[in-house]
A and B are shown apart, each in its own frame.
Chain A
């Protein structure tokens, strides 16, 4: 079972001692618990993947408390919150001494959609007998003024790349990976302090095998734009096409090509069956408009592209969806890039072969399965002037 888990879950910290690089934050949490109920809630805020949620889980383990978890999407309405949390606040935990309440990603609460959600949360803090831990990426919006004054604030910093590197090393030893030190360093640096991102990258790379030949300088810069998550959530959860749907990408600082990739990656996480087919149909039509723009330079078609990407995808379902979905960052481009790295030698062999035999490189690439058998012949290798690396590549095949 554990084999199927994303590594970010598999290797999630269990205790304070597992959490690297956040010593000050740990200290602050300990003080908060000691002084409870001087302040009843604590906000852990900071960028993605620095260990906010992990800290909460570790706190629950360290204090042997039962953890009651709520996501932003559970705040749809007042009643639901009151039903879940209201009960637990009043009742003592059945099995353990104490309880912790986790409000994950509080900045996902929308003041329009989740009418009353914030007020309800403030009320909870007032009434609660148990510590409430809140995580957020950005807590500085003015709608959180009241929440901030009520709570202890702990800011988490981006994790130092050396600490990320250390974790990646341990994971690759445990997973028996053959990843070169250069690559691990590159992943750590490029993650810009985001442990989750680094672990995800490592996992993707490991699934593609032959991990040691990646050029560390070129691993994609991580896009840390959080706004895309909000936009995706809006599109995938709502079926109503209104003004906010039309403008859903306004706040997202990304090219439309990137939007395509994000949506493409995440459609199957939200939709199944009919919805899946409809959503991909909309995406496919959007891509046709994109192609026409490229060819005809008719930029007005952008309107349709954007509309199909937002309204088209949203209207693929009949009803609004609830629940929290953890959206994934697009992996296709990285896979293509890694594949190109892996097939670089194949390409260079095909270039030589193609020139020698008057065919196109593309055709040589396509016929490579046959050509590589012919290239077992030493004399032919010499005739094509294959270099040592190319010969090594051929020898390693099969």
Chain B
């Protein structure tokens, strides 16, 4: 097996050939067949992070173009581009010239395409049509449901599954052998546990851990995991439930700014945390309903922070055993309310 010339393990050990890919056997088989015919359709690779979407896109272009892949390949990330116009301009500039070599088209990989709005996707659809003769698009996304039907119908959709533990183990074993690491099986369990099936994350965790010692123990892994863990949203909720809105708000802004966490991710974390709070069950139900409402408003509205502030104001109220529904304040069965946090 050949390795990329990199010290970043996610790159160094990125599979270079179809045979090296772990998991996704069906997908690999079918894509390989397409590539061998030297003519691929537009592709949509859908699936969770760290399951091999970008890796496969890279393998495709390397198989197609060989040495000259860099000239024929454009990688864009929809969540980083400042709007569809930028994407279109880049596509236009890239697609203007003919492909070099035997393959009659170039390849554009648009990562995280589900970050595009509906309108942007409409525009993308037209762009895809305009350049079909000279370009193939490979789109990737976490959820195919977020991609417009007209785009889905113009692409061949591949659904990537979360990698199984045994597949990830294969990768980890290979790396530790090459890097001279000693990993106990419980240390591997700890790595896997923390990665949620995301192969990139596993490898990053492994490299970070190995930077301390080549002898990977569960304790060492957990030390790194807790270092890399974003701040606890719990503290924001605790402040709110105890009636301290000012500190709750400040901590919230602090976490969002310092750790670059989006409002969507914050609300996800809050929703998960509610079940761990020591509050009345009925209050948990009511609060979860509220969180859902706020998540909806967050998608519809324009200022994530205002929406989250409104949510923590509801937590302040919940701390008093009350909820706001339909503009009216309701007492929540105060006889069973346990109070406090």
* Distance in Å: Cβ of B153 to nearest Cβ of chain A: 25
Interface stretch (choices A41-49, A98-106, A351-359): A351-359
| Chain A residue contacts of B205, Cβ below 8 A | 370
> Scoring B residues 304 to 319 as 1 if CB is less than 8 Å from chain A, else 0, what string do you get?
0111011001101100
Number of A-B contacts (CB under 8 A): 151
A294 near B: Cβ within 8 Å?
yes
Given the known interface contacts A278-B324, A369-B227, the answer about A357 and B8 at a Cβ–Cβ threshold of 8 Å is yes
| Chain B residue contacts of A362, Cβ below 8 A | 79-80, 260, 262
* Distance in Å: Cβ of A125 to nearest Cβ of chain B: 40
* Distance in Å: Cβ of A113 to nearest Cβ of chain B: 27
Q: Is the CB of B11 within 8 A of A357?
A: yes
A56 near B: Cβ within 8 Å?
no
* Residues of B in contact, count (CB < 8 Å): 58
| Chain A residue contacts of B230, Cβ below 8 A | 366, 369
B75 near A: Cβ within 8 Å?
yes
> Scoring B residues 145 to 178 as 1 if CB is less than 8 Å from chain A, else 0, what string do you get?
0000000000000000000000000000000000
Q: Give the one of A285, A358, A360, A377 with max B CB within 10 A.
A: A358
Q: Is the CB of B11 within 8 A of A373?
A: no
Q: Is the CB of A377 within 8 A of B324?
A: no
Classify the interface of chain A: helix, strand, loop or mixed.
helix
> Scoring A residues 44 to 79 as 1 if CB is less than 8 Å from chain B, else 0, what string do you get?
000000000000000000000000000000000000
Which of these, B10, B208, B307, B320, contacts A357 with CB under 8 Å? B10
In the complex, A284 Cα to B306 Cα: how many Å?
Answer: 6
* Residues of A in contact, count (CB < 8 Å): 49
Chain B, Cβ-Cβ closest to A283: B306
| Chain B residue contacts of A278, Cβ below 8 A | 324, 327, 329
Q: Is the CB of B257 within 8 A of A339?
A: yes
Knowing that A335-B257, A366-B260, A367-B204 touch, tell me 11 more A-B residue pairs with CB under 8 angstroms.
A264-B309, A273-B320, A288-B301, A290-B303, A292-B300, A336-B257, A357-B8, A359-B111, A369-B227, A369-B230, A374-B204
11 A-B contact pairs sorted by A residue (CB < 8 Å): A260-B303, A276-B316, A278-B324, A284-B306, A287-B307, A335-B253, A336-B257, A362-B262, A366-B261, A374-B207, A380-B7
A interface residues, Cβ below 8 angstroms from B: 260, 264, 268, 272-274, 276-281, 283-285, 287-288, 290-292, 294, 332, 335-336, 339, 343, 354, 356-363, 365-371, 373-374, 376-377, 379-380, 383
